[in-house]
A and B are shown apart, each in its own frame.
Chain A
Amino acid sequence: AQSVTQLDSQVPVFEEAPVELRCNYSSSVSVYLFWYVQYPNQGLQLLLKYLSGSTLVESINGFEAEFNKSQTSFHLRKPSVHISDTAEYFCAVINPPGGSQGNLIFGKGTKLSVKP
């Protein structure tokens, strides 16, 4: 069965520092990978996704994630965070793997807390 592991439940950082939120998945076939973000008191929003092609994908607010097939990882990075990036971040894969339709399997989430 597929699974998604987010190793860090909480990541505190200072404003303007770089950050990496780690995500590892288990799958024996090709996958589609997603990062969703949940800002305080708001619903889940898609941040970015990897479907195929370039292994580096970017969001409009400066986050990027790199698909690494050999390490089965899809870590999320930002070189300089803002207070407004404080949120919970969820990594997800589509189930079944390689399927044309399906539901999302989520990791348990990482709470990013940006301090001034």
Chain B
Amino acid sequence: GAGVSQSPSNKVTEKGKDVELRCDPISGHTALYWYRQRLGQGLEFLIYFQGNSAPDKSGLPSDRFSAERTGESVSTLTIQRTQQEDSAVYLCASSLRGFSTDTQYFGPGTRLTVL
């Protein structure tokens, strides 16, 4: 079956512009995660959706970052007024039930470059 997909694969934008990144999780997966991978800094958790529960936004670095999820399907991560330090690979993952024991399946990522 299809894995997690993300679009676009690459995005180049100018400082101050808004960007939207899209994630399509594996069908039937109730949990969806966003992570960020900055050069030399490993992966950082951003936000987590589980079913109809309120999302865990504890990893969002500033109020310029927001995310939405429609039901148990597509999610969009929005970065407003982008800054150069937002340049990173943004990874989306999904898991079947969101349990700690479940495997998280990752998408290929969106590489964001802010000029």
Contact = CB atoms under 8 A, between A and B. Distances in A.
A109 B44 CA distance: 12
A90 B44 CA distance: 12
Nearest to B6: A43
A12 B109 CA distance: 26
Given A43-B108, A94-B100, A101 B43 contact: no
Given A101-B98, A103-B59, A43 B109 contact: yes
A100 B107 CA distance: 23
State the main secondary structure of chain A at its contact with B.
strand
Interface residues of B, number: 28
A102 B33 CA distance: 10
A5 to B, nearest CB: 11
Given A44-B91, A90-B43, A103 B99 contact: no
A45 B100 contact: no
Contacts of A109: 42
Given A43-B91, A51-B101, A105-B45, 16 more contacts: A43-B3, A43-B4, A46-B103, A90-B42, A94-B100, A95-B45, A100-B100, A101-B99, A101-B100, A102-B100, A103-B56, A103-B59, A106-B43, A106-B44, A107-B42, A108-B42
